[in-house]
Structure 1
Amino acid sequence: MTDREFSVTDNQWITLKDGTRLAARIWMPDGAEADPVPAVFEFLPYRKRDGTSPRDESTYPVFAAAGIAGVRVDIRGSGESDGVIDGEYTELELANACELIAWIAGQPWSNGSVGMMGISWGGFNCLQVAALRPPALKAIISIASTVDRYNDDIHYKNGCHLSAQLSWAATMLAYQSRAPDPALVGDRWKAMWLERLENEPFFMEEWLQHQRRDDFWKHGSISEDFSAVEVPALVIAGWADGYRNTPLKAVEGLGDKSKALIGPWVHKYPHFAWPKPRADFHGEAIAWWNRWLRREENGVENLPQVRAYILDGPKPAPRRDVDPGFWLAMETWQKPEMQCFYVEQFGSLMEGMPIPHAPEHLLYLKSPLDTGTASGEWFTLKPDAELAIDQRSDDAGSMTFQTAPLTEAQDYLGQPVLTISLRSEAELANLCARLVDIHPDGTATRVSFGVLNLAHRDGNEHPQPMTPGAPTHIRLMLDACGYRFGKGHRIRLSLSTSYWPMVLPPPIDVGLSLDIASLGLAMPKLGSHNVIEVKQPDNSDPLPKYKEHKPGATRRQVVRDMSANRTDYCIYEDTGLFEHPGTGLSTRQLRDEVWSISPDDPLSMRGTSVWTCDMQRPGWFVRTVATATIACTAADWLIAGSVVAFEGDAKIFEKTYEKVIPRDLM
């Protein structure tokens, strides 16, 4: 079959019922009005003109050549769309998405069947829109997303406050404060820009006002009612990303409607993600769309329910280009059989169950508050130090238990579970558990981790403070993993009371007494499976090339000032200045973020994230500088933000935010 010719409309206005005009970029197969085609819709706040254009241009032309239209729309207040964004996955956003799906289905070139897809925000909202059941939506592909907005996103994790919440608030402040392109909206660009600058929300304020799993987080969490999603869902994620739990949770909740694909990847589309091996996302997606949007009998519904890449002892490195391992398929996902380990009297991790009612064997643990600097970022975009590095530095501040060298390889797929009894002398404390692969040379690779705010030990909706000094039994589920511990390797369990800067500390730091006689570690054994091949993309370099004016740069540093008793974790990202060859628009973004803490003072914690965003053409230059900060007292979170905008050399706008928000059992 020869590729179909197609055209691209760089900007099409779609007017909603309330009069708001949203901006769309459309890839249209030739002859579609005579021979209507299905369409794939993506709805994001990340700016089709300059933000997501490289990945859009790697995928939608391929879809269009296969006879599938692509409709990429900016959410209101983003890119060239009218208005101001009102939050994350709001009722208005989802209602607009349903209206857009109806608009697409009603076009003369449409066959009436629409698919929705996306990664991250777009992966979230396609699941959420599917739960609303718009009639024309027939299938979705959700990448790096979540079914549980409270526990599997960048905000909170089992009641622990993630630093990514500040990072993402700063990111969104930066994205939403950028100007529309005058080449598309004309002379009204500046009025639109000033409206956004004046009215855009500081997302951090709303997120911090909901520190428990309340209705705010239940909204948009399809785990509240999986049955609401009735269309087929292909759910994709990578082990190197923070959204690694979602594919298995989706197949457990959605059943036969869902297929899972899990690779070794960071937070990117599988056809250009790292670490390799990649997957032929275009081929996977086109077959999916043809089956559900065209009713082509191609057998996609018979795909194994789970396909996963099992990592085979990758070593942490400055850059992970390829992770060793193998692909497998499980026709039907079943909750795994668990292999149990306990800690024997001399501290070794042994296969078996803890002795029931054994006398307490208490060991005291109080990690330095800067334990966790080897954790990498929760939200990973590159396979470098954003990933967890060698764990030996973090293990130095942790309590560790490990097996003898394995006499044969052990394979696992699923979520490990830690159970233990402990005592706390304070009402609040955090516990972090890490599963680590110890290589024969001592290198330590993080396999999985989990964190728990102990006040949330019995649930995230109605937390309860600890009773000081009282024995408390807890169950901590770690993140999903697919991993082979090789022959001669050791399995290590590392426990710490801090995991900074990924997790912000509670206001009290008195340590925990752990009853290691009660400790149980349950590992999800790899069940019945077939070893398979997953096709890699034909094009190994699918992203378009833009004109480079200034190169990019990345730095991650940990600075320990022993005189000041302070540790700084410093992140610097520069995208470089690149010009789109078709639009002449050049853009550059700088992220400068610093987290600071004194290793013995949880109230010394502070984070600052600054984004500088430039857009330019000959004779036109605009810049925004967005800043977000967080600090704390024992009782409150202290947040602040600012946005400053420049046209040329002139400052044309400045706005500041400042808020004190009470801490809620954190």
Structure 2
Amino acid sequence: MKIRTSFPYETTHEDLRIPLADGTRLYARVWRPVTDEPVPALLEYLPHRLTDGTAPRDRQRHPWYAGHGYASVRVDVRGHGNSEGLPGDEYSATELADGVEVVHWLAARPWCDGRVGMFGIAWGGFDSLQIAALAPEPLKAVVTVCSSDDRYDNDVHSMGGSVLAVDTHAWAATLLAFASRPPDPLYAGDAWREMWLTRLEAVEPLLPTWLGHQTRDDYWRHGSVREDYGAIRAAVLAVGGWHDPYRDTVLRLVEHLPPDRVRGIIGPWSHQYPDQGLPPGPAIGFLQETLRWWDQHLKGEDTGVMAEPLLRSWISGSHPPATVYAELPGRWTGDVTWPSANVTPVTYALQGPPVLVRSPQHTGLDAGRFLPSGNDADLPPDQRADDAHSACFDFPVPADGGPIEILGRPRVALTLRPGAPTGQVIARLCDVAPDGSSTLVTRGALNLSARHGRDRAVDAEPGEPAECVFELNGIGHTFPPGHRVRLAVSSAYWPWIWPRPDAAGFTLEPDASTLLLPVRAARDDAARATDAAVAFEEPEQAEPLGVTVPATLGDDDLRPERLVVRDVATGEWRLEVDPRHGGTRVHPDGLECTEDAVETYTITEDDPLSARTRSDRTIRLHRPDLPWNVTVDTRSEIACDATHFVTAAEVICKEGSEVLFHRTWEKRVARTAG
């Protein structure tokens, strides 16, 4: 990583409040080049607290952009950080309308030339895409990283029409804690306590709302830009990683947006900016790549970025299973169209007699983290345990031939006879080495009730043939000669997917089932030259913020990141996850921020109604110099019976030892499709 200390422009920065039409003021931090000429503005807009939560990340990139001639602006959405107003649901109509106002406000500043770009990762990337679909005239270009065009089927709520247990719960619990944090008196002034108490009165757990929409309805269509790609007028650079759950959005955007205003990059990364250097790598010079995008679309310079292939992809080489990789083997490729002329669908017919698939309910404990972010236990370990609970079909890669390279979304067409009206089918694609080790390549799932479409729930007829056709998540991977391509099919996948009430499973009919692989091969010299020309600069960033992590007693006695506990007598399995948000961080402005979180997922191997999730989180914010000391404790749970989800939540907020706010919630939500 190169730390850049000198730039074409000297820079300055200030904090300010952006007024909205309803009188609400949003807190903003602006970095600008020192120049008398107006410049384009870049906006990163999300709720995660610019004065502490994202401050280290912001410092890496906003001053860097300012040093290259842009006004780079970070804004907290209403009800979060030091912004006024009340918190709401993800990507609410109010939040998006506020974002449009901010775009126009920036364009009207005397230091702005009227042209605006938006960028962000995750929430910031979502907002960038969704605000682009509202088409404010000043917004000319977007860089969206690890974001989604489909809030129902490519987010943390659902997968293949099934409720996601793992991040539906973990993310809702995180947002409950985040929304309950107070403004910082150093920036909000004496009004911080009144703002906090008013905010807390408006906080509501989002779990019951999300669980109340178990099919793709208008709730999920809101903010899903795939409903109308044509509404987006800005130029879009879409970026993702093969170990991030949102990478399929990149494939859809480069397919559906006009090729003269979209480009896609998919690397080996997890849920991170591609310059951060977190596992798995290699990292790239992402800031330089985005500068080419901004200069092209906001300054009118021909940077050559639109002469790049439509989609630049990393295709990983085969690698043994592990939960973390510093770097993955592989190579960059370029495709000038998508779907690509270099990719040919190849069908593999499953073989064998009918097989009963009735997986134990704990199948999936080796799935890895849904939203990996570079931690040591994020990625899936050896898949042999989950393979043993699945029906497996192996296709050898001939030892005397070439490798099989795939790029895109594999697809399965499975004929099965359900044992009950409800259920799920999960397909995993694995790379099996000669020693028998099984590396997860990609996966997909289908709720049987969604086999006729994600917008409806139709029960299956037990014993009658059901055609289940669905895609697995996109991937770039190479299966070498002597390895086996394995398709593993199971009826359970906990804790990723919340189980349906009946564990009857299904009978799979291999002779009427197929696997389709998107096999890639550069077909001519021009295609091979395009692949060879894909390259990126080394990563660089601005000087770091200087957050310190003080050593404390017990640092050598951390909880395991992922701990699986089996009760042999009862058949109960418990997964305990430490998402590694913990520890104390001391910011240069004097703020001490301490976080601790643990997530627990419990199930009995023969009882889908035993599924339980729980999240406990503590956040402490402390300013010794003011003095100021506040604590937010949250608890969130989901359980179920045959007809309902049962949710519970609790928030306790203290100033010092005094409890200022305490509320609990309990709600039952009917199981319509989940």
Q: Give the alignment of 1:375-454 within 5 angstroms.
A: 375-407=367-399, 408-454=402-448
Q: Give the alignment of 1:196-211 within 5 angstroms.
A: 196-211=199-214
> Offset of 1:620 from its aligned partner?
1.8
Q: Distance in 2 between matches of 1:626 and 1:436?
A: 38
> Offset of 1:159 from its aligned partner?
0.9
Pair 1:306-2:298 in alignment: no
Q: Show the counterpart of 1:334.
A: 339
1:442-485 deviation digits (Å, cap 9, x = unpaired): 22111110011011001011221001111111102100000001
> Offset of 1:297 from its aligned partner?
1.9
Q: Distance in 2 between matches of 1:520 and 1:435?
A: 13
Contact 1:277–1:536 (CA under 8 A) maintained in structure 2 = no
Q: Give the alignment of 1:474-553 within 5 angstroms.
A: 474-528=468-522, 529=527, 530-539=531-540, 543-550=544-551, 553=558
1:14-39 deviation digits (Å, cap 9, x = unpaired): 110100010001111112xx200111
> Offset of 1:590 from its aligned partner?
1.1
SS state of the match for residue 188, structure 1?
A: helix
Contact 1:115–1:293 (CA under 8 A) maintained in structure 2 = yes
> Offset of 1:544 from its aligned partner?
4.0
Change (3 A) 1:617 1:145: same
Q: Distance in 2 between matches of 1:473 and 1:542?
A: 56
1:26-82 deviation digits (Å, cap 9, x = unpaired): 111112xx2001111011011101111111110011101001111100000110001
Q: Show the counterpart of 1:644.
A: 652
The farther-off stretch of 545-554 and 521-530 is: 545-554
Q: Distance in 2 between matches of 1:275 and 1:532?
A: 23
Taking every aligned residue pair, what percent have the same amino acid on both sides? 38
Total equivalences in the alignment:
647
Q: Show the counterpart of 2:591.
A: 585
Q: Show the counterpart of 1:13.
A: 17
Change (3 A) 1:255 1:439: farther
| Residue 22 (structure 1) aligned to one of 22, 26, 32 | 26
SS state of the match for residue 100, structure 1?
A: helix
| Residue 373 (structure 1) aligned to one of 365, 374, 377 | 365
1:334-391 deviation digits (Å, cap 9, x = unpaired): 253211111234xxxxxxxxxxxxxxx4210100000001101211112432211111
Q: Give the alignment of 1:551-630 within 5 angstroms.
A: 553=558, 555-572=561-578, 573-581=580-588, 583-618=589-624, 619-630=627-638
What is the identity, as a one-letter code, of the residue corresponding to 1:189?
W
TM-score where L is the length of structure 2: 0.94
**Structure 1 stretches of 5 or more lacking a match?**
346-360
Q: Show the counterpart of 1:162.
A: 164
Contact 2:312–2:534 (CA under 8 A) maintained in structure 1 = no
Contact 2:59–2:542 (CA under 8 A) maintained in structure 1 = no
> Offset of 1:540 from its aligned partner?
8.3
> Offset of 1:538 from its aligned partner?
4.2
Q: Distance in 2 between matches of 1:543 and 1:388?
A: 32
SS state of the match for residue 337, structure 1?
A: strand
Contact 1:550–1:576 (CA under 8 A) maintained in structure 2 = no
SS state of the match for residue 396, structure 2?
A: coil
Q: Distance in 2 between matches of 1:650 and 1:310?
A: 55
Q: Distance in 1 between matches of 2:285 and 2:396?
A: 40
Pair 1:124-2:126 in alignment: yes
Q: Distance in 2 between matches of 1:14 and 1:77?
A: 14
**Structure 2 stretches of 5 or more lacking a match?**
1-5
SS state of the match for residue 590, structure 1?
A: strand
Contact 1:321–1:383 (CA under 8 A) maintained in structure 2 = no
| Residue 182 (structure 1) aligned to one of 181, 185, 190 | 185
SS state of the match for residue 437, structure 1?
A: strand
The farther-off stretch of 485-494 and 572-581 is: 572-581
Q: Show the counterpart of 1:48.
A: 50
Change (3 A) 1:383 1:305: farther
Contact 2:215–2:673 (CA under 8 A) maintained in structure 1 = no
The farther-off stretch of 244-253 and 542-551 is: 542-551
Q: Distance in 2 between matches of 1:56 and 1:546?
A: 12
SS state of the match for residue 288, structure 1?
A: helix
Q: Distance in 2 between matches of 1:93 and 1:665?
A: 29
SS state of the match for residue 84, structure 2?
A: coil
SS state of the match for residue 171, structure 1?
A: helix
1:306-352 deviation digits (Å, cap 9, x = unpaired): 0000010122324211111101111222253211111234xxxxxxx
What is the identity, as a one-letter code, of the residue corresponding to 2:548?
K
SS state of the match for residue 241, structure 1?
A: coil
Pair 1:71-2:76 in alignment: no
SS state of the match for residue 61, structure 1?
A: helix
What is the identity, as a one-letter code, of the residue corresponding to 1:268?
Q
What is the identity, as a one-letter code, of the residue corresponding to 2:109?
Q
> Offset of 1:255 from its aligned partner?
3.2
What is the identity, as a one-letter code, of the residue corresponding to 1:293?
L
1:214-253 deviation digits (Å, cap 9, x = unpaired): 0111111111111111211000000011112111111111
1:481-511 deviation digits (Å, cap 9, x = unpaired): 0000112211101010011011110011101
1:79-100 deviation digits (Å, cap 9, x = unpaired): 0001111211111111000000
Q: Show the counterpart of 1:268.
A: 272
The farther-off stretch of 69-78 and 330-339 is: 330-339
Q: Distance in 2 between matches of 1:634 and 1:303?
A: 53
Change (3 A) 1:527 1:127: farther
Change (3 A) 1:100 1:215: same
1:610-653 deviation digits (Å, cap 9, x = unpaired): 11111111132111011110000100000111110111122221
SS state of the match for residue 525, structure 1?
A: strand
Contact 1:271–1:536 (CA under 8 A) maintained in structure 2 = no
When the two chains are superposed, the root-mean-square deviation of aligned CA atoms in Å is: 1.5
Q: Distance in 1 between matches of 2:208 and 2:268?
A: 34
1:247-268 deviation digits (Å, cap 9, x = unpaired): 1111111131211100010101
> Offset of 1:536 from its aligned partner?
4.2
Contact 1:126–1:142 (CA under 8 A) maintained in structure 2 = yes
What is the identity, as a one-letter code, of the residue corresponding to 1:210?
H
Q: Show the counterpart of 1:348.
A: none
Contact 2:405–2:478 (CA under 8 A) maintained in structure 1 = yes
SS state of the match for residue 63, structure 2?
A: helix
Q: Show the counterpart of 1:655.
A: 663
The farther-off stretch of 328-337 and 587-596 is: 328-337
SS state of the match for residue 400, structure 1?
A: strand
Change (3 A) 1:167 1:274: same
Q: Distance in 1 between matches of 2:375 and 2:518?
A: 26
> Offset of 1:542 from its aligned partner?
6.8
1:405-457 deviation digits (Å, cap 9, x = unpaired): 43321101000000111101211010000000012222211111001101100
Q: Distance in 2 between matches of 1:13 and 1:541?
A: 25
The farther-off stretch of 601-610 and 373-382 is: 373-382
Q: Show the counterpart of 2:3.
A: none
Q: Distance in 1 between matches of 2:309 and 2:82?
A: 41
What is the identity, as a one-letter code, of the residue corresponding to 2:509?
D
TM-score where L is the length of structure 1: 0.95
Contact 1:147–1:246 (CA under 8 A) maintained in structure 2 = yes
